[in-house]
Amino acid sequence: MAALPPSDDPFAARYVNLADERLGAVALEASDDFFAPRQRMLNPEPAVFIPGKYDDNGKWMDGWESRRKRVSGYDWCIVKLGRPGSITGVDIDTSHFTGNYPPAASLEACNVNGNPDASTVWTEILPAQSLGPSSHHFHEIAASGTWSHVRLNIYPDGGVARLRVYGVIEPADLTGEIDLLAIENGARAIAASDEHYGKPWALLRPGRGVNMGDGWETRRRREPGNEWCILALGRRGVPSKLVIDTAHFKGNFPDRCSIQAANVTFGTDKSLITQAMFWQTLLPEQKMQMDHIHSFEKELADLGPITHIRINVIPDGGLSRVRLFGKVV
């Protein structure tokens, strides 16, 4: 069975992967990772298979893989999430594991300061589910709460290429002036006109982009108009400063950029696509430069509290990060 393409992921478009190592997620401990190290399971890139590649312990596999169990019991791995948050769905991905995937897996979670120990109480948020070879296994999570760690249990042993834990980050501190568009403050991407080279979720990540692939980039537009994306602020707030970063985009940065905004009190994510065309202008059209941090303060219109923005890149191109600083209302 071939692995499902990423476009079939029912969670990635709406939620952040809390188990993304770019957010600081760490595979703390595993019962066994003889064939493939546990941290590899948190790589944000799709799993790959390299024919003929071996290491000292056997075939090189892109994921976490335990040895064949010759005693009773099962293997497990504890993951510290990049940020604590609620969990809405998971993907247990066995891509490229065909004769060595676990027949079943379950997921537990806890919320602790520091790291779990022998006294930690774990809550089962996903009962044991059957797994298949080289497949994405998507499951909704109904358990409510804020979680800091998860424990993936595989029965009895085998390999998991990737673990994605989708949810909403619980902000740590919302006092004073914060980045209202930081993914760690609960911001999320809603929609985009084009995601050919990168998704708008990248605009919300911590730090500057590491390369041109770490950003939102559209195809080359060959018709009139411009490309756009819609972002939801982590909390309703009044903006005071906007930063648009085109790091690493040199021959493909937008010629111009503008921002619209609104205080949305009704509708669904899907309906916002139409509403956003008529939102007020927060930032009039501004010329962009390649590989540059653009900062705007006095150019921002006073619209009062807002919850969403629409970024217009004219006519197309790529952005690395967008920051919107302000105070939560």
**Bridge partners of residue 189, in order along the sequence:** 231
- pLDDT band at residue 2 using 50, 70 and 90 as cut-offs: very low
Half-sphere exposure of 206 (CA within 13 A, CB side): 12
Whether 196 is covered by a domain: the verdict is yes
pLDDT beyond 90 at 222: yes
- pLDDT digits over 85-97, tens only? 999 999 999 999 9
- Whether 156 and 211 map to the same domain: the answer is no
C-alpha dist (Å) from residue 24 to 63, 109, 113 = 18, 17, 15
Burial of 298 (0-12, 13-18, 19+ CB in 10 A): exposed
Tokens of 253: 């940065």
Instruction: Give the three-state DSSP class for 100.
Output: coil
Find the domain containing 321 and state its range.
177-328
- pLDDT band at residue 39 using 50, 70 and 90 as cut-offs: very high
Whether 248 is covered by a domain: the verdict is yes
Name the residue among 196, 199, 298, 188 with its Cα closest to residue 241: 298
Cα–Cα distance for residue pair 173/152, rounded to 1 Å: 29
Q: To which residue do tokens 């998991």 refer? A: 160
Whether 28 is covered by a domain: the verdict is yes
- Whether 27 and 140 map to the same domain: the answer is yes
Whether 235 is covered by a domain: the verdict is yes
Instruction: Give the three-state DSSP class for 270.
Output: helix
- Whether 187 and 324 map to the same domain: the answer is yes
- Whether 11 and 82 map to the same domain: the answer is yes
- Whether 145 and 217 map to the same domain: the answer is no
Whether 1 is covered by a domain: the verdict is no
Cα–Cα distance for residue pair 30/24, rounded to 1 Å: 18
pLDDT beyond 70 at 5: no
- Whether 160 and 258 map to the same domain: the answer is no
- Whether 191 and 295 map to the same domain: the answer is yes
Instruction: Supply the pLDDT for residue 269.
Output: 85
Name the residue among 276, 257, 280 with its Cα closest to residue 268: 276
Whether 69 is covered by a domain: the verdict is yes
Cα–Cα distance for residue pair 91/166, rounded to 1 Å: 8
Domains in the chain, number: 2
230-254 average pLDDT score: 97
- Whether 99 and 244 map to the same domain: the answer is no
Residue where a domain terminates, one of 114, 143, 169:
169
160-164, 251-255, 268-272: the lowest-pLDDT one: 268-272
Instruction: Supply the pLDDT for residue 173.
Output: 80
- Whether 41 and 187 map to the same domain: the answer is no
Would you mind telling me the total number of residues written for the chain in this entry? 329
- pLDDT digits over 77-135, tens only? 999 999 999 999 999 999 999 999 999 999 999 999 999 999 999 999 999 999 999 99
Instruction: Supply the pLDDT for residue 134.
Output: 97
36-40, 168-172, 224-228, 261-265: the lowest-pLDDT one: 168-172
CATH of the domain at 155: 2.60.120.260
Instruction: Supply the pLDDT for residue 1.
Output: 32
Instruction: Supply the pLDDT for residue 58.
Output: 94
Cα–Cα distance for residue pair 313/175, rounded to 1 Å: 31
Instruction: Supply the pLDDT for residue 7.
Output: 46
Residue where a domain terminates, one of 169, 185, 203:
169
Whether 17 is covered by a domain: the verdict is yes
Name the residue among 245, 247, 260 with its Cα closest to residue 295: 245
Contact 133, 91 (CB under 8 A): no
Instruction: Supply the pLDDT for residue 272.
Output: 94
Tokens of 313: 């890149």
pLDDT beyond 70 at 233: yes
21-40 average pLDDT score: 97
- Whether 134 and 231 map to the same domain: the answer is no
Name the residue among 120, 119, 103, 102 with its Cα closest to residue 111: 120
Contact 321, 235 (CB under 8 A): no
Half-sphere exposure of 325 (CA within 13 A, CB side): 11
13-22, 265-274, 283-292: the lowest-pLDDT one: 265-274
Name the residue among 83, 74, 82, 85 with its Cα closest to residue 160: 74
Residue-averaged pLDDT of the chain: 95
- Whether 85 and 211 map to the same domain: the answer is no
Name the residue among 110, 325, 145, 152 with its Cα closest to residue 239: 325
Burial of 207 (0-12, 13-18, 19+ CB in 10 A): exposed
Instruction: Supply the pLDDT for residue 3.
Output: 42
- Whether 84 and 188 map to the same domain: the answer is no
146-151 average pLDDT score: 98
- pLDDT band at residue 4 using 50, 70 and 90 as cut-offs: very low
Residue where a domain terminates, one of 169, 191, 207:
169
Contact 227, 313 (CB under 8 A): yes
pLDDT beyond 90 at 256: yes
pLDDT beyond 50 at 201: yes
